[in-house]
């Protein structure tokens, strides 16, 4: 019985402390400036993890096989036509998901292999989607998935792609994703949603904010 009451007490304490934490969010501009990792990559991949993965590719047959699968996926994108702004009804989601399918393997292979064919194809893919007039904020899931693809590419490959394209992609994340996420209430139903939109959209905006923090620190910390 004592253990049950102790468990109940700890649960209530945890719940109440979480409520206070939520009311007094410490993630301010100053907090991010002090705590955000200065070097990239900072999204999932780190220099330490990259070294571990490269070692495992040589020593672990399962990791090697999975890496070869990613390489096949990247190779399959090399001769595909560039993505275009092609809505189906009110959705651009098919294009956003295709961008994810192409860009993530390309970005990882570009970083690991430093092979010009992957870098050039990654640049073409980024150039295409970052030239769109918007990422369809009226159906915000489309924005979130596109922002995720572009964010990981920039974070993992910022030193490999052309500086002018890096600037263009950074601006696309700001103008096509972060600003629309706070600009109009009609774009923001996902913020209180109790389904996958909440996770996908908050996740997309978070990685975008972390990616462009140096360019737009106040906007990024607001996100």
What's the CATH number where 193 sits?
A: 1.50.10.100
SS3 breakdown of the chain: % helix, strand, coil, rounded to 5?
70, 0, 25
Burial (Cβ within 10 Å: 0-12, 13-18, ≥19) of residue 183: exposed
CA angle, 45 as apex, 98 and 210 as ends, to 5°?
75
Token couple for 58: 């040589």
In this structure, is residue 109 part of a structural domain?
A: yes
| In a domain? residue 4 | no
For the question of whether the overall pTM of this predicted structure is more than 0.85, the answer is yes
d(Cα 106, Cα 94) in Å, to the nearest integer?
Answer: 18
Q: Sorting pLDDT into bands at 50, 70 and 90, what band is 23?
A: low
Q: Which of 99-108, 123-132, 136-145, 187-196 has the lowest mean pLDDT?
A: 187-196
134 in a structural domain: yes
The domain in which residue 56 lies consists of 44-222
Mean pLDDT of 113-122: 97
Quote the tokens at residue 165. 């394209």
Q: Is residue 199 in a domain?
A: yes
What is the number of structural domains in the chain? 1
Sequence-ordered list of residues with C-beta below 8 angstroms from that of 137, at least 6 positions apart, any chain: 143, 176, 180, 181, 184, 187
The answer to whether residue 64 sits within a structural domain is yes
């Amino acid at each position: 019985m004592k253990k049950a009451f102790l468990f109940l007490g700890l649960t209530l304490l945890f719940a109440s402390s979480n409520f206070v934490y939520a009311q007094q969010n410490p993630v301010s501009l100053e907090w991010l400036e002090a705590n955000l990792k200065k070097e990239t990559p900072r999204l999932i991949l780190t220099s330490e993890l990259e070294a571990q993965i490269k070692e495992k590719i040589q020593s672990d047959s399962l990791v090697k096989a999975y890496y070869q699968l990613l390489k096949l996926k990247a190779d399959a994108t090399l001769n595909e036509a560039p993505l275009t702004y092609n809505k189906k009804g009110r959705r651009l989601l098919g294009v956003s998901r295709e961008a994810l399918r192409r860009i993530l393997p390309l970005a990882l292979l570009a970083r690991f292999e430093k092979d010009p064919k992957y870098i050039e194809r990654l640049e073409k893919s980024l150039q295409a989607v970052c030239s769109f007039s918007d990422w369809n904020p009226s159906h915000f899931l489309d924005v979130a998935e596109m922002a995720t693809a572009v964010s990981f590419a920039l974070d993992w490959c910022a030193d490999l792609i052309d500086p002018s394209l890096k600037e263009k992609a950074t601006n696309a994340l700001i103008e096509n994703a972060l600003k629309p996420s706070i600009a109009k209430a009609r774009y923001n139903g996902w913020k209180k949603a109790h389904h996958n939109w909440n996770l996908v959209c908050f996740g997309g905006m978070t990685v975008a904010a972390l990616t462009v923090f140096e360019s737009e620190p106040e906007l990024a910390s607001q996100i």
